[in-house]
Amino acid sequence: AAGTLAACAAALAGSLSGAPAAAQSKVLLRVSTPAVAEDWHGKMWTVFKDHLDKAAPGEFDVQINLNATLFKQGTEPAAMARGNLELSSISAFDIAKQVPEFSIFTAGYVIRDPQHQQKVFGGPIGQEMFKLASDKMAVTLLTPIYLGTRQVNLREARTVRTPADLKGIKLRMPGSKEWLFLGEALGATATPLAFGEVYLGLKTGTIDGQDNPLPTVRAAKFYEVTKQLVLTQHLVDGIFIAISDKAWAAMTPAQQQKVRAAAAAASAFNNEGRIKEEAQIVDYFRQQGLTVTTPDVEAFRKHVQQAYAGSDIAKAWPAGLLDRINATR
Ligand code: KDO
């Protein structure tokens, strides 16, 4: 009801000022993301916009801001709470800052692969955790997105078989407690840095490496300034399309439905493209001259799982949730 009133008021204001009513009453959806244009979760916003423009011509004004040009990486939830931003794709790490239970999805070697991720988020666990996050935050989570499987990417090639081989390596992680914990759990010295500064950090040597899914290593051109990929597969990473509660509440149910459908289309585009690319991308990096090595993944798994087991981070996980995630097939 609030949405209909707001729309009427906007239309009235438009006609009184002599401006075209349609332009005035468009629902403004500003998107901010650190994603680069060439990455799947950058391109997916064009799919989102096209989907909405087709389903509801002239009804929505989707403004896409990539490369964290509108809001800095990690500040999007606060911007949405203030009403300065409508849409973003936020990470489990962003959510964990306000909803510590969610940090279970920031832990290495919990989600096994993209299919497992889809089952977990598409079933009762996803429903419960989405509701928890949506209740506790000023945003509503619309859909999960597969960000890819994170791998270690080093500036100089070296032998890496176990976490001990990463000792002293300045591994860039995004700047939050949960990210730094993950970097340390891998055996490295975790060094916080925003995504947009990673390329230069690798080029100049202020960091020795970074971790990201391989499609992102390609899209952000990190392969130009690194020599090795270590296929640790340490985090099957997910992000979530989130909309500010303010924008959500101002929409009619029909508009909400259209936005949900557009988010689902964006997610399907991203997931399909990214999974296909991950399956054959290693050759591309070899052609670019990188060394691609497979470490003792079991040694990494054991080390990382042990680090989380006794940690403060894991204390926030709902009782039994890890077992339920593990049992999800
Ligand atoms: C990154 O900073 O390494 C990361 O992969 C973290 C993700 O949560 C997400 O913010 C992502 O960057 C950006 O969307 C850029 O791809």
pLDDT value of position 16: 47
d(CA 198, CA 320): 37
C-alpha 231 – ligand 1 centre gap (Å): 18
Strand (E) or helix (H) holding 27: strand 27-32
DSSP string for residues in 261-290: HHHHHHHHHHHHHHHHHHHH-HHHHHHTT-
Task: Among 73, 149, 151, 236, name the best residue to mutate to test ligand 1's pocket (greatest count of ligand atoms within 8 A of Cβ).
Answer: 73
Residue 22 has pLDDT above 90, yes or no: no
pLDDT value of position 150: 99
Mean pLDDT value across residues 215-229: 98
pLDDT value of position 8: 47
Mean pLDDT value across residues 310-319: 97
Lowest mean pLDDT among 24-28, 119-123, 294-298: 24-28
Amino acid identity of residue 93, one-letter, is: F
* pTM beyond 0.90, yes or no: yes
Is the ipTM reported for this complex over the cut 0.95? yes
SS3 (DSSP) at 188 = coil
Residue 2 has pLDDT above 50, yes or no: no
pLDDT in tens, 47-103: 999 999 999 999 999 999 999 999 999 999 999 999 999 999 999 999 999 999 999
Task: Show the CA angle centred on residue 91, arms to residues 231 and 275, nearest 5°.
Answer: 45
pLDDT value of position 246: 97
Mean pLDDT value across residues 171-192: 98
C-alpha 313 – ligand 1 centre gap (Å): 20
Lowest mean pLDDT among 8-12, 79-83, 145-149, 321-325: 8-12
pLDDT value of position 25: 87
Pairing of strands 60-65, 27-32: parallel
Strand (E) or helix (H) holding 323: helix 321-327
Q: How many residues does the chain have?
A: 329
- For residues 17 and 241, which has the higher predicted lDDT (pLDDT)? 241
pLDDT value of position 259: 98
Going by CA atoms, what residue is nearest to atom 4 of ligand 1? 195
Task: Among 39, 89, 103, 147, name the best residue to mutate to test ligand 1's pocket (greatest count of ligand atoms within 8 A of Cβ).
Answer: 147
Going by CA atoms, what residue is nearest to atom 6 of ligand 1? 174
d(CA 217, CA 39): 9
Residue 170 has pLDDT above 80, yes or no: yes
Angle subtended by helix axes 40-55 and 253-280, to nearest 10: 150
Residue 24's pLDDT band (boundaries 50, 70, 90)? low
Going by CA atoms, what residue is nearest to atom 5 of ligand 1? 212
d(CA 329, CA 326): 8
Q: What are phi and psi of 51, to 5 degrees?
A: -60, -45
Mean pLDDT value across residues 244-259: 98
Task: Among 212, 214, 222, 226, name the best residue to mutate to test ligand 1's pocket (greatest count of ligand atoms within 8 A of Cβ).
Answer: 212
What mean pLDDT, rounded, does the chain reach?
94
Mean pLDDT value across residues 28-43: 98
What residues flank ligand 1, with Cβ below 6 Å?
A: 33-35, 39, 41, 73, 91, 93, 174, 195, 212, 216, 239
